[in-house]
Amino acid sequence: MEEGIVEVSDTTIAAVKGRRVWDSRGRPTVEAEIELAGGARGRAISPAGASMGAGEAVDRRDGGSAFGGLGVTLAMNAVNSEIAGALRGRDAADQHAIDKRLIALDGTPNKARLGGNAIIAVSMAAAHAAAAARGLPLWQHLGGDAAKTIPLPEIQIFGGGAHAGGRLDVQDFMVICPGARSFAQALDWTAEVYRAAGALMKDEGRLRGVADEGGYWPEFDGNEQALAMLLRAIERAGYAPGEQVAISLDIAASQFGKRGRYRLARDRRDLDSDAWGEVLLRWIERYPIRMIEDPMAEDDPEGFAHFTSAVKGRVQVVADDLVVTSAQRIADMARRGAGDAALIKPNQAGTLTEAKAALDAARDAGWGAIVSARSGESEDVTIAHLAVGWGVGQFKVGSFTRSERMAKWNEMLRIEEALGARAKFAGKNVLP
Ligand code: 2PG
Ligand code: MG
């Protein structure tokens, strides 16, 4: 780990290639591969969201009838032609310059012209190539000797919302393990809770397979029933609810809330922002909930702020759709008191440089941060490296099945092992 003796091969970009690969929903996505003059290579695959914020970088899709219009031939061609031409001869080790060039080349505020999917794949591939040229894993390339924080994982047990055909209104019913002493132990405990939840579902005749992120398909009569079952699963697995294993929710309220009205199809309720907030507060009293993401819709920052102040110090309030990994929006919402942590999804921003700027904005505001996957994923494990390399204390990847999820958990296990005694597990310190 002595930086001085690392030999770096030539990091000049020699070639950029785009190819079409497939994501975890069986949809086309973009992979970028960059080759450097010194022979090092880097590769990355763009993920894709289903419950997307209005302000996100936009993926370029072919339209038409093939693959439901989700083809990425145009985005792939953009990598192979325009982007390749613009980046050849540039230094892959200068991430800032690479990303600046990509942003300027695209020229739109939301990366719609070349495609957010094309741009984020290239941005991440450049980072991998630069790390490979130094012979370092990406986390170490990014963070150097300072990188030793291993994040607290946030792991889905039941899917819902846009990831499960609207079967429940709430999107993610997750667990965190504030009582665990290491990442590995947090996974051990989560595996037991996941198993217990599956056994309970089976006993009650509710087992229907899994949703998009690998959590059980939510065969419940209402949102609160899922919370009750999750609490029972924690207890059945033998953990102290709240202390050892707690609940985290991603409400993804933009999916059912518009202009201050929250329409819960499952619970057959139509509530205003305050009344919906009251429902959430009751859930917090009844269940060991320590984190809530997007409790209110992206068009309701006032409701968001109101809720944040109501639960201050008890529950971490995470902004996802509300801030879409934008430094500017995070600064704005922090000023308004809407949320106290930001989800960091690189493809919402479109480049690594912008995602890092969003993280810096969260830190400047005194907010927490969670590096997050998307509901459409692949074997790409870049985000595990970003979390550690950037020193982020929380990590959200989806559930505890399906290899596109397990690839990231497993990569984090390897990083924790590589750090050995130097690893510092963030644990419960990241929570209020
Ligand atoms: C979210 C993510 C991941 P999607 O809302 O936080 O659960 O979902 O990738 O569909 O936006
Ligand atoms: Mg979300």
Please classify residue 249 by burial: count the beta carbons closer than 10 Å to its beta carbon, then call 0-12 exposed, 13-18 middle and 19+ buried. buried
Domain ranges of the chain: 13-135, 144-430
Per annotation, catalytic residue among 345, 356, 396, 408: 345
Residue 374, Ramachandran bin (φ over 0: left; ψ between -120 and 50: alpha; else beta): beta
Residues in the chain with pLDDT < 70?
1-5
**Which residue of 172, 343, 395, 404 sits with most ligand 1 atoms within 8 Å of its CB, as the best mutation to test the pocket?**
172
Residue 268 phi, psi dihedral angles, 5° rounding: 50, 55
The C-alpha torsion from 49 through 53 and 57 to 63, rounded to 10°, is 60
User: Which pLDDT belongs to residue 1?
Assistant: 46
162 CA closest ligand 1 atom index: 10
The residue ranges of DSSP E strands in 251-367, in sequence order, are 257-258, 261-264, 269-272, 289-293, 316-319, 341-344
Please classify residue 225 by burial: count the beta carbons closer than 10 Å to its beta carbon, then call 0-12 exposed, 13-18 middle and 19+ buried. middle
The closest residue, in CA terms, to atom 3 on ligand 1 is: 374
What residue spans of 73-214 are helical by DSSP H? 73-78, 84-87, 95-106, 116-133, 138-143, 183-203
Is there an atom of ligand 1 within 6 Å of 393 CB? no
Is there an atom of ligand 1 within 6 Å of 49 CB? yes
Polymer length in residues for the chain: 432
- Give me the residues near ligand 2 (ion), CB cutoff below 5 Å: 250, 320
Is there an atom of ligand 1 within 6 Å of 59 CB? no
User: Which pLDDT belongs to residue 92?
Assistant: 98
Residue 156 phi, psi dihedral angles, 5° rounding: -75, 140
Q: Give the residue among 159, 164, 239, 229 at the shortest CA–CA distance from 197.
A: 229
What residue spans of 134-247 are helical by DSSP H? 138-143, 183-203, 223-236
156 CA closest ligand 1 atom index: 7
321 CA closest ligand 1 atom index: 5
Q: Within 13 Å, how many C-alpha atoms sit on residue 358's CB side? A: 29
Gyration radius from the chain CA atoms: 21
The residue ranges of DSSP E strands in 236-376, in sequence order, are 246-250, 257-258, 261-264, 269-272, 289-293, 316-319, 341-344, 368-372
398 CA closest ligand 1 atom index: 7
Q: Residue 261 C-alpha to ligand 1 middle, in angstroms? A: 22
| Domain 13-135 coded CATH 3.30.390.10 | yes
Q: Which residue has the tokens 């106290």?
A: 340
Ligand (nearest to CA of 295)? 2
Per annotation, catalytic residue among 35, 213, 219, 411: 213
User: Which pLDDT belongs to residue 372?
Assistant: 98
Please classify residue 206 by burial: count the beta carbons closer than 10 Å to its beta carbon, then call 0-12 exposed, 13-18 middle and 19+ buried. middle
Is there an atom of ligand 1 within 6 Å of 172 CB? yes
Superfamily of domain 144-430: Enolase-like C-terminal domain (3.20.20.120)
Is there an atom of ligand 1 within 6 Å of 352 CB? no
Give catalytic status of residue 35 as yes or no: no
Q: Residue 226 C-alpha to ligand 1 middle, in angstroms? A: 19
Give catalytic status of residue 278 as yes or no: no
